[in-house]
Amino acid sequence: MNHLLSALADEANAVVGQVQRSLVVLRNGRRGYGAGFIWRSDGLIVTNNHVVGKARTLAVTSDGNEYPPKILARDPQIDLALLKIEADDLPAAVIGDSRLLQVGEIVMAIGHPWGQPGAVTTGCISALGKAQTSGKRRGELVSVDIIRSDVRLAPGNSGGPLVDARGSVVGINTMLVGGDQGIALPSHVVEAFIENQLGEDSD
Amino acid sequence: MSGTNNLLGRLSESLAQAVVKAGLSTVMVEARRRMPASGVVLTPDLVLSADHVVERDDDIRLLFQDGKDSAAQVVGRDPGSDLVLLQASGGGLSPADRAPEAALVGQLALALGRPSPEGIQASLGIVSAAGGPLRTGRGGLLESYLRTDTIPYPGFSGGPLVDAGGRVMGINTSGLTRSSSLTIPAVLAWGVAEALERHGSVPRGYLGIRSQPVTIPALQREALGREQVNGLLLVGIEERSPAERGGLMVGDILVAMAGVPVNDPDELLAMLVGAAAGQSSTLQVLRGGENIEIQVEIGERK
């Protein structure tokens, strides 16, 4: 009936399907469901630090396999954690350049809100700015780039990807600050963290 | 994405461009203790904003997309529609592009705001409803309004609702209803701005009647000679009011003003906003079994 709208729907469906392949469920005992995604095909997974917690975490990939991940690095200040699972040829997410983002762009959050696996919510980039988070030393404040969006987020989205209209990951959904805006840590911050922690190029 | 036209990507780019375009005429308005709010440039030196965010008459500062700022003065306020017209001392501003047609329910919409110097902000949604008239609780009445499912972020009041081409469909405010935000359609907002520029206020017509909607009895409907079900039963006439001078009486059923059928009190209020004040108008009234016309000189509500 309406060619443009149905073509848009088909494309959105394809984009979501592609991202879902890189999505990981992080099961964390009683603390439940968190999200993460495959950053590199050799098993490098990016998620939120608070999703990993203290208990034993299990990573479930989109093909249903379960892995006990090794924690490579974690940072409570920017709520990031790097995990590694023993696998090869995993479907890595396409990483976009978050420094090129513009307010108004369409973005989608993919995760497990309220335990619903692989669910997608959509909206636009609302603002590009900075947030203050506590630093490593007591009383120290660190400024970090953030993406604000009007995408609806819920528990279970934490650690999951925020992707642009092409399905490239531009951020990681985080509950860094409260309010009714979704907050994501831009992918360029994740790249810098990986380089800094693992002493290597992120790609 | 291979094998597709990348429609989603193009739509996304268009929306980002719409934000850039409309962002040129979306300004930060600093005129209250709390965080600043937003405004829309109408002419090279006039900015429309929400009345409730301009708490003071002095020391008003505007900040523009290019980082420049300007002092501003209040030209006029209309609390009834929660609009305020400001004049920037510098001039040379980029006026917003106004959407040529009324917004349609279901169409894409971006709410924009500039509540901080960090940059333009946006929320995406659709036009959820178009309604009116709406009593606004400050003695005002909106002839029409829009609702959207965009998020009314703090400081978005006074900012524009724009279409996918970055053209202004209305002015957003969360100051008119207690629980939600709504949008004053561009045609109404621009009309209020024009009245504020000319008179410093929005004239509202006054008749001096109290009325309630009634179903027109069958016999009287015959006298009326058209398919109108409801009219306004006059239950009170104020002394020395335009209605009394014109000869209206308690018990009359008002069915039309200036040839336009009147079905309920809100419709009449909407007709009395703006141009009607100070003018002579013909009221159509059912009195007993008769259909009569009465001339009134519409007064101005102070």
* Position A92 in a domain: no
> What residue in A sits closest to B120 (Cα-Cα)?
A127
Shared domain check, A111 and A74: no
CB-based contact A7 B150, cutoff 8 Å: no
Quick check: is B191 in a domain?
Answer: no
Is B233 within a domain? yes
pLDDT at B1 over 60: no
DSSP-based three-state secondary structure for A178: coil
Q: Are residues A50 and A105 in the same domain?
A: no
The encoded tokens of residue A75 equal 């940072």
Cis peptide before B133 (omega within 30 of 0): yes
B18 neighbourhood in chain A, CB within 8 Å: 104
Q: Are residues A106 and A192 in the same domain?
A: yes
pLDDT digits (tens, 9 = 90+) for A41-74: 999 999 999 888 776 889 999 999 999 999 999 9
Q: Residue written as tokens 């959105």?
A: A12
User: For the segment B133-191, what is each residue's pLDDT rounded down to a tens digit?
Assistant: 888 766 677 888 999 999 999 999 999 999 999 999 999 999 988 778 999 999 999 99
Residues A55 and A102 in one domain: no
Q: Per-residue pLDDT tens for A147-202? A: 999 999 988 899 999 999 999 999 999 975 555 568 999 999 999 999 999 886 55
- CB < 8 Å to A181, chain B: 151, 153
The shortest C-alpha distance from B280 to chain A (Å) reads 49
Beta carbon pairs, A and B, within 8 Å: 94
Question: Domain range holding A63?
Answer: 3-84
Which residue range forms the structural domain that includes residue B248?
Answer: 205-300
Answer yes or no: is pLDDT of B227 > 80.
yes
A110 and A186 belong to one structural domain: yes
CATH classification of the domain holding A127:
2.40.10.10
Q: Please indicate whether residue A158 is annotated as part of the active site.
A: yes
| Average pLDDT of the residues in B14-26 | 98
One-letter amino acid at B202 equals: V
Highest mean pLDDT of the ranges B79-83, B137-141, B155-159, B295-299: B155-159
Say whether both A128 and A48 belong to one domain: no
Split into its structural domains, chain B has a count of: 1
The token duo for A92 is 């890595």
Asked whether residue A45 is assigned to any structural domain, the reply reads yes
B15 contact residues in A (CB cutoff 8 A): 104-106, 124
* A43 and A108, same domain (yes or no): no
The strand pair at B253-257 and B280-287 is best described as: antiparallel
Residues A105 and A194 in one domain: yes
- What's the pLDDT at A168? 98
In terms of domains, do A56 and A114 share one? no
Work out the pLDDT band at B2, boundaries 50, 70, 90: very low
pLDDT, residue B47, reads: 98
Structure tokens at A181: 């805006």
pTM of the model: 0.86
Both A80 and A103 in one domain: the answer is no
Please answer whether residues A48 and A158 qualify as being in contact, where contact means their C-beta atoms are separated by less than 8 angstroms. yes
Q: What is the mean pLDDT of residues B44-56?
A: 97
Q: What percent of chain B has pLDDT over 90?
A: 74
Does residue B275 register a pLDDT over 60? Answer: no
